[in-house]
């Protein structure tokens, strides 16, 4: 299976700097020109502020679709972040793909690199600070317009204008939209959780599903969505 599914519009990186509430973040990314090398921990020149929850091999590259910007403008009104790439802190800003089109485990050739879809994003409170809205992370979660992460199977350069060339789709029955719905619905679906548990999910998602199956309840999202108390 090899087909062009989309195109990279912008490649973006950012340095980790002091951020809100005593944190650090690399969410404020800038557009790069030319080829950018992609290694197993992400793009050269890109940093994450909190390596406990960001970065690492399973979150090496973040991808966000340009298709979502029109919906955000309609819901939020004019916002300067929506007029430029990397509004959501993504590394790859693209056209042609959304969470409804991309499946867990999809492998894409992007420039010289081979990337594998590892998980959807779990939005956090830093989006609230970035957009100046206390409910922004909640809205990203509610809409399912989260973007997704890749692990890097083959290192190499990528660049704006590179095609997103689908190489393999081992789990066509599991588009990210299905996983996002399962993750963020407020009630349990045991059968769906068990079906998802056999997928090659990253360790943090495996633990989350195991906790739900063991406890019979959905965990609280307050800490992730609202963050630490402001002082």
Phi, psi values for residue 191, rounded to 5° = -60, -40
Average pLDDT along the chain: 94
pLDDT in tens, 144-197: 999 999 999 999 999 999 999 999 999 999 999 999 999 998 888 999 999 999
Instruction: Please report which confidence band the pLDDT of residue 229 belongs to, taking 50, 70 and 90 as the band edges.
Output: confident
What residues does each domain of the chain span? 3-226
pLDDT band at 94 (very low <50, low <70, confident <90, very high): very high
Q: Are 82 and 76 in contact (CB under 8 A)?
A: yes
Is residue 131 over pLDDT 90?
yes
Q: Could you write out the three-class secondary structure of the chain?
A: CCEEEEEEEEEEECCCEECHHHCEECCCCEEECCCEEEECCEECCCCCCCCCCCCCHHHCEEEEECCHHHHHHHHHCCCHHHHCCCCCCCCEEEECCCCCCCECCCEEEECCEEEEEEEECCCCCHHHHHHCCCCHHHHHHHHCCCCEEEEEEECEEECCCCEEEEEECCCCCCEHHHHHHHHHCCCCCHHHHHHHHCCCCCHHHHHHHHHHHHHCCCCCCHHHHHCCCCC
Question: Model confidence at 1, in pLDDT bands (50, 70, 90)?
Answer: low
pLDDT tens for each residue of 204-217: 999 999 999 999 99
Q: Domain 3-226 is classified in which CATH homologous superfamily?
A: PK beta-barrel domain-like (2.40.33.20)
What count of other Cβ atoms lies within 10 Å of the Cβ of residue 32?
Answer: 18
Beta bridge partners of 148: 63, 120
Give the mean pLDDT of 8-29: 94
Region 8-19: what's the mean pLDDT?
Answer: 95
Measured between alpha carbons, how far is residue 39 from residues 115, 167, 184 in Å? 10, 19, 31
User: Which pLDDT band holds residue 52 (cuts at 50, 70, 90)?
Assistant: confident
Asked whether the beta carbons of 54 and 19 are under 8 A apart, the reply is: no
pLDDT at 60: 96
Q: What is the pLDDT of residue 51?
A: 73
Q: Is the pTM of this model over 0.75?
A: yes
Q: Which pLDDT score, from 0 to 100, does residue 50 have?
A: 75
Asked whether residue 71 carries a pLDDT value surpassing 70, the answer given is yes
pLDDT at 127: 97
């Amino acid at each position: 299976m090899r087909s062009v599914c989309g195109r990279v519009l912008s490649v973006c990186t950012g340095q980790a700097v002091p951020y809100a509430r005593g944190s650090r973040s690399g969410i404020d990314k800038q557009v790069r020109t030319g080829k950018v090398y992609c290694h197993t921990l992400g793009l050269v020149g890109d940093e994450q502020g909190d390596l406990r929850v960001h970065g690492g091999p399973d979150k090496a590259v973040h991808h966000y679709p340009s298709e979502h910007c029109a919906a955000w403008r309609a819901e939020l009104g004019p916002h300067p972040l929506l007029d430029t790439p990397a509004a959501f802190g993504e590394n790859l800003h693209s056209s042609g793909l959304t969470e409804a089109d991309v499946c867990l485990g999809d492998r894409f050739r992007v420039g010289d690199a081979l990337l594998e879809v590892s998980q959807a994003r779990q939005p956090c409170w830093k989006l609230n600070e970035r957009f100046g809205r206390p409910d922004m992370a909640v809205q990203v979660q509610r809409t399912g317009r989260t973007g997704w992460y890749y692990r890097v199977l083959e290192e190499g350069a990528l660049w704006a204008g590179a095609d997103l060339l689908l190489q393999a789709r081992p789990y066509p029955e599991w588009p990210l939209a299905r996983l996002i719905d399962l993750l963020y619905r407020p009630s349990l679906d045991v059968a769906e959780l068990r079906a998802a548990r056999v997928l090659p999910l990253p360790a943090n998602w495996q633990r989350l599903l195991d906790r739900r199956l063991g406890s019979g309840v959905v965990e609280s999202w307050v800490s992730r969505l609202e963050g630490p108390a402001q002082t």
